[in-house]
Structure 1
Amino acid sequence: MPRDPAFLSSLASSLLDHADLALVYLDRGGLCRHADRRFAALLDRTPQALVGMTLSTLDHPVARALAAAMESLASGVRRSAPLDCETTGCDGQRAIVSGNLLAHTDADGAVVGWLGLFIETGDPDRIADFVARRDPFVATLLNAAVDGIIVSDRTGVIRSINRACCDLFGYEEAELLGQPMTVLMPPPFARDHDKYVSNYVKTERPKIIGIGRDTLGRRKDGAVFPIHLSVGEARMGDRTTYVGIIRDISDRLAAEQRASYLARHDPLTGVLTRTAFLEECEALLANDPVGGDTGFALYSLDVDQFSDINEAFGFHVGDAALKALVSRVMEVLPPNTYMCRIAADEFAALARVNGMEHAQTLADVLHDRLTASIYADRHWVRLRLSVGAALQEAGAHSLEELNARAKLALQAVQHDGGNAVCFYTPEMAAAATRRMMLTMHLNHAIERNEMHLVYQPIVDGKTGRVVSAEALLRWTHDTLGPVSPAEFIPVAEESGLIVPLTDWILSTAIGQMMRWNAEGVLPDRVFLNISGQQFLRGNLTARLGELLSGCPELRPHLGLEITEQAAVRDLKVAIKTLGELSALGIQTAIDDFGSGYSSLSYVQQLPVAKLKIDRAFVIDVPTNPKSNALVRAAVGMAHGLGLATVAEGVETEEQRKFLVSVGCDLLQGYFFGRPMTPEALAEMIRQQRTPTAG
């Protein structure tokens, strides 16, 4: 408690009552000991009514704020606490009370009371005065902001600006204060801003207040850059202030533009993505129908065996080769050609042409150019390229239809070995429909019991006796009738169905061999054709081990035929698998020898027992000297390597005599018997084993 209350009252009356402050003094317990008229007015009371009252018992914002400030100072760590609150007087006017509560301590530092000094900010002038008193604090907050902040009056004149905004536009603060906001905008946007301000002054209808928008700003050096501007409105009495928050969005827009570009363009080659290509070309075809001699051609490009380049030289060389490919395509095809990347090594291009002859000439030039040597990242590479093309015709306006035709032409090229050009013909659509139908039916052929095996005899060249047989797959569909193996085997290989079909052949043939063995008519060897996919899967030996586990006596009677293309596709796997089969006692033969790679370098590495000479060489002997020479060479080479030879496709006595004369060991063909049922082959073997068979 103060030692002389009368002195305190006198001091308050003579000094503090004449200051522009509201004053109150509370004892340590919060009991009011003095309140001037300004403070009493804040609580809508008289000073006499407040003295002697514990203010915390009053239901008033100022009283509650005082109690909170006293509680915050109770620990004794701080000696003063700021106080800010909003009040509403009896007249309904709103005001802001702001000030400080100070701790009054004795000589020992103990709190004996509390002195509160406050200012009421109720009209615009006093509010401005209050803001001015707090200006250092506000400036600190504004300068801590990352975005640019501008405070302007209703005429658009800048009254305050933070450091971030000065740095953003390249000005000093003094250069902008008092200047119109338009100094920070390029001319078109400055004019628009002036219109907004003028319209608001006249109509009081804001069009940009509270709405963020992207626009342009102008720096002191004249550089224009994208910004996002948000404008807020603050009213203090009858005064209006605008607060603008400005953010540089150059990086954001650059990222958005980059993302938009990548969404429509291939990041490696820069050509359109498939989706963007379809959109652009569909619009082009819709607005430019076929007429006269002009139209469009769609080229579908696929790099054959592109993975070989990546594996041999690395992906960086492959990427460089694809970039060079795109450059050459755009050099050859006419201007305004649209091009896209469909897959890793597959592209499409839509070009304007003057009829079929022009389209074919472009395709031929394009193929020649793309298959020429390419210098890619310090390596010379040559691409093999398949090109399928389709010409826009009357009635074929959609890109989808044009693309389907080009893809059919591309498939036709690839079926014929690739690295060529092919244009769409109506027959291709019929063939594609047929392949799709066969694929669908082939998927259920085994479970519907539509597959069966026939066996063609293989005879000894010298004696003519049946010593072996080749199992051949046949398919008879309920509605399609018999389907040629030449037609359904390629379909099975393309669809992957060849693997389950091959497995069915293995199990079915081994079951038949068990029955023949029980009847005593099992041939010395029964050969089965193995697809390249099954051969290279790595589990062929294990699967045969399972099938032969209950009849190991059949191993010496089982033979497998693989094409030379499958054998050399992965030589290491081929050598390993053939070695495992040989260890099981299963004999292997190279089928269709001479129709593919035909290299001594691989033949001598493969642990095989026989070479089957392709029927293409047998059909012309002995009338064709070149075929005669090739057959002699094949037989001599095989015997030199310790291998037996089998000649396929023998149909005449003259062919038989010639093949025997050159030393061919075994013969197979219609001359000795067509593919037949298991029962017919068994009967043939029984007859040759009877004493009168000769």
Structure 2
Amino acid sequence: MDLQPSDQSGGSGRDGGASLPRDPVFLASLASSLLDQGVAALVYVDRNGVCLHTDDRFAAALALAPADLIGKALAGFDHPVLSALAETIATVTRMPDVDALPLDCQSVGRDGHPAILSGTVMAHRDGGGATLGHLGVFHDTGDPDRIAQFAACRDTFVATLLDAAVDGIIVSDRTGIIRSINRACCRLFGYRDSELVGRNMTMLMPPPFSRDHDRFVDSYMKTDRAKIIGIGRETLGQRKDGTVFPIHLSVGEARTGNSVTFVGIIRDLSERLAAEKRASYLARHDPLTGVLTRTAFLEECEALFESRTDAAGGLDGGLFALFSLDVDQFSDVNEAFGFHVGDAALKAMVNRVTEVLPANTIICRIAADEFAALARVADVGHARRLADLLHDRLTASIYADRHWVRLRLSVGAAVQDDGVHTLEELNAKAKLALQAVQHDGGNAVCFYTPEMAAAATRRMMLTMHLTHAIEREELHLVYQPIVDSEGRVRSAEALLRWNHHVLGPVSPSEFIPVAEESGLIVPITDWVLTSAIAQMARWEAEGVLPDRVFLNISGQQFLRGNLTQRLEELLAQHPSLRRHLGLEITEQAAVRDLKVAVRTLGELAELGIQAAIDDFGSGYSSLSYVQQLPVAKLKIDRAFVIDVPENPKNNALVRAAVGMARGLGLVTVAEGVETAEQRDFLVSVGCDLMQGYLFGRPMAPDALAAMVRGQRVPTGS
């Protein structure tokens, strides 16, 4: 080895203290001792990259003999240690101000075990600073802890990747001692890395997992049957503050000889499970009110039914009552105040339901404004008291989002008896009761009776048959005369009749509501318009057409928005009939959407079609809307006419209606006149026109034509 001392005489060191003698003989002896008897693994490489010296320890760390290395260039070997050594030498050569660089490198010795060469590569320079070679001084160790630490920390790029990972990553040895941990894992468990490295990973596990960890690892090492290792699964972790939380843990292993390193990847499942729990909740609960959905309601109630019946199928004491709740005309609340007020009103309504009904009541939201509640009651009387109290509370004023709101509520109820064993049976009865109360105008309570089932069956049958009534030509029109104070026919009202081929005549009071509920009233009304105009054209040709022929228009048809257009189409071939056509609409239809009603009636008036308010007095009877509607007649409801002049109150009401109409410039028509006394009273109070059995029952077109023809004054008289 070419060692050239810079000074051959003894002298002082740089700090002024004593230093080793620079005598060549002394230095040669020292170098020989270091090379041959030192505890370090040494290697010397000249400036050309040729190995000039290596001891047994360095060669053994590479699983080679010294003779395999000495005199040979490092570039000729494919070995990770020699490649790392050559790269470090190149780095020192490029940096003249650097005398030495550390080098750590993993290797496998002749015994097949992993080892770590950890040391320094030093530049050997002459007095002028020229590089003569490089000396590597290394410590050889096979300590597993040192190897694990090296494996985890040797690559700063890998460490950076681990810290960038969203999931927590832990590297541990065979005994569970944590050798490395990334930042995500520290954040996940609430520790600093210094608090975890070197500690057993069981500190991150709650009981019983922490207690069983070592046993699971021992079992795996002996049998290769994994509990978690190599098999990802959901389990629990424990934070520094003691919080237990759900995690997904997957563990991999790396074997180097007999040593094993485990790498665990940990993902926090708290947010995912919370989202799944929220989704599961929303699948079973209404997001606005928090009560059950219909499906969840049926499931829970069916389970409750099964648990409350004994083996013989009877009741085990007490009864179930099902309340079906429907807010009448709830759309009016949304339109008047906005959806936010409507939503607030529904939430307040549900709160009141929970206050009134027993604590174990199951509540659900079936539709936007329809709810159901299953409650445990002592008897039928208890159920009736609850229903009445419920109706009173829910129809009381509600303060919703800075607005006072009053709801109209229909309540249909059914109480369990020995013949009811399923929720579906009880629900069907409650729905029938709800339909019954809504048929009667709503905003009331109705309990199921057996007659309701027969009525529902009848309505369903009528709906099915009414669908085909037009094509089977089962519908026809009859006409009832409307007379003046002298008894002369001035106009007529067209009335619809249905004569079923099997059922026979069906009353309009029965099939008209069915048609309105089913939506069949729209095509039926269109048929009425077509048939009546055709009949009017025939009467006109015969010279017996009354001044006006009034047709009843349903609220659905009136508010659809295309009534005027349809009438223009039908009257296009008979323009002269416009001044002979009149339409009757009910108070309820007129005020349901007053803006649409005013617009539609105005359009009809421009066509020359006259409009009348039918059944005046049975609904709102308010001047506030009558004066806004462009109508020509008010028809006083038969309920006020039937007992005049005997009933003073009805006498006063009729007088008031006639006086109001006259003040507004409207013609009055009294319906249901059956006696001469009624006629005389109506004439005395100034009623303009009258209609009823006294003057003629609804009759066929030919009969009305004959009636009109018979009252003509003969020519020349």
Amino acid at match of 1:277: F
2:356 to 332, 350, 354: 332
Flag the 1:624–1:149 CA change in 2: closer, same or farther, 3 A: same
Please state if 1:172 is matched with 2:188: no
CA offsets, 1:511-537, max 9 Å, x none?
111111112221221111111121122
Distance in 2 (alpha carbons) for counterparts of 1:685 and 1:35:
140
Flag the 1:445–1:22 CA change in 2: closer, same or farther, 3 A: farther
Shift in Å, 1:201 = 3.9
The more displaced of 654-663 and 296-305 is 654-663
Please state if 1:630 is matched with 2:650: no
1:231 — aligned with what?
251
Q: Tell me the SS of whatever aligns to 1:320.
A: helix
Distance in 2 (alpha carbons) for counterparts of 1:591 and 1:512:
22
Distance in 2 (alpha carbons) for counterparts of 1:22 and 1:667:
130
2:388 — aligned with what?
364
Flag the 1:170–1:484 CA change in 2: closer, same or farther, 3 A: same
* Structure 2 contact 308–316 (Cα < 8 Å) conserved: no
Give the unaligned 5+ runs of structure 2.
1-31, 88-106, 118-135
Aligned length: 654
Flag the 1:197–1:490 CA change in 2: closer, same or farther, 3 A: same
1:84 — aligned with what?
none
Flag the 1:660–1:171 CA change in 2: closer, same or farther, 3 A: closer
Shift in Å, 1:653 = 2.5
Flag the 1:304–1:240 CA change in 2: closer, same or farther, 3 A: same
Please state if 1:510 is matched with 2:533: yes
1:498 — aligned with what?
521
Distance in 1 (alpha carbons) for counterparts of 2:42 and 2:679:
130
CA RMSD of aligned residues (A): 4.5
Distance in 2 (alpha carbons) for counterparts of 1:240 and 1:202:
13
Please state if 1:404 is matched with 2:424: no
Please state if 1:584 is matched with 2:591: no
Distance in 2 (alpha carbons) for counterparts of 1:134 and 1:578:
90
The 5-angstrom pairing of residues 462-481 of structure 1 reads 462=486, 464-481=487-504
Shift in Å, 1:217 = 1.8
1:276 — aligned with what?
296
1:355 — aligned with what?
379
Shift in Å, 1:35 = 13
Flag the 1:153–1:293 CA change in 2: closer, same or farther, 3 A: closer
Flag the 1:218–1:95 CA change in 2: closer, same or farther, 3 A: closer
2:510 to 487, 490, 505: 487
Distance in 1 (alpha carbons) for counterparts of 2:182 and 2:591:
76
The more displaced of 385-394 and 124-133 is 124-133
Please state if 1:413 is matched with 2:437: yes
Shift in Å, 1:506 = 0.8
Q: Tell me the SS of whatever aligns to 2:327.
A: strand
CA offsets, 1:241-276, max 9 Å, x none?
211111222222222222222222222222222221
Please state if 1:552 is matched with 2:575: yes
Distance in 2 (alpha carbons) for counterparts of 1:167 and 1:325:
46
* Structure 1 contact 36–47 (Cα < 8 Å) conserved: no
Amino acid at match of 2:375: A
Amino acid at match of 2:670: A
Give the unaligned 5+ runs of structure 1.
1-13, 70-86, 99-116
Shift in Å, 1:544 = 1.1
Please state if 1:653 is matched with 2:676: yes
Distance in 2 (alpha carbons) for counterparts of 1:172 and 1:612:
88
1:317 to 341, 345, 367: 341
Distance in 1 (alpha carbons) for counterparts of 2:689 and 2:696:
14
Flag the 1:248–1:402 CA change in 2: closer, same or farther, 3 A: same
Flag the 1:149–1:590 CA change in 2: closer, same or farther, 3 A: same
Structure of higher CA gyration radius: 2
2:239 — aligned with what?
219
The more displaced of 371-380 and 453-462 is 371-380
Distance in 1 (alpha carbons) for counterparts of 2:53 and 2:540:
126
CA offsets, 1:451-496, max 9 Å, x none?
111111222221x222211111111122222111111111111122
1:527 to 532, 535, 550: 550
CA offsets, 1:312-351, max 9 Å, x none?
3333333332222222211211121111122222211111
Flag the 1:253–1:450 CA change in 2: closer, same or farther, 3 A: same
Shift in Å, 1:94 = 13
Shift in Å, 1:220 = 2.5
1:264 — aligned with what?
284
Distance in 2 (alpha carbons) for counterparts of 1:151 and 1:265:
44
Distance in 2 (alpha carbons) for counterparts of 1:584 and 1:595:
29
Amino acid at match of 2:438: Q
Flag the 1:682–1:155 CA change in 2: closer, same or farther, 3 A: same
Flag the 1:23–1:627 CA change in 2: closer, same or farther, 3 A: farther
Flag the 1:552–1:35 CA change in 2: closer, same or farther, 3 A: farther
Flag the 1:33–1:397 CA change in 2: closer, same or farther, 3 A: same
The more displaced of 487-496 and 194-203 is 194-203
The 5-angstrom pairing of residues 82-161 of structure 1 reads 131=151, 134-161=154-181
CA offsets, 1:137-168, max 9 Å, x none?
44333323222211122222222222322232
* Structure 1 contact 34–47 (Cα < 8 Å) conserved: no
* Structure 1 contact 272–340 (Cα < 8 Å) conserved: yes
Flag the 1:128–1:610 CA change in 2: closer, same or farther, 3 A: closer
1:4 — aligned with what?
none
Distance in 1 (alpha carbons) for counterparts of 2:504 and 2:382:
44
Flag the 1:161–1:133 CA change in 2: closer, same or farther, 3 A: closer
Flag the 1:541–1:22 CA change in 2: closer, same or farther, 3 A: farther
TM-score by length of 2: 0.79
Distance in 1 (alpha carbons) for counterparts of 2:157 and 2:483:
109
Distance in 1 (alpha carbons) for counterparts of 2:662 and 2:164:
93
TM-score by length of 1: 0.82
Q: Tell me the SS of whatever aligns to 1:187.
A: coil
CA offsets, 1:612-669, max 9 Å, x none?
1211122212322322232233223322322222222122223223323333222221
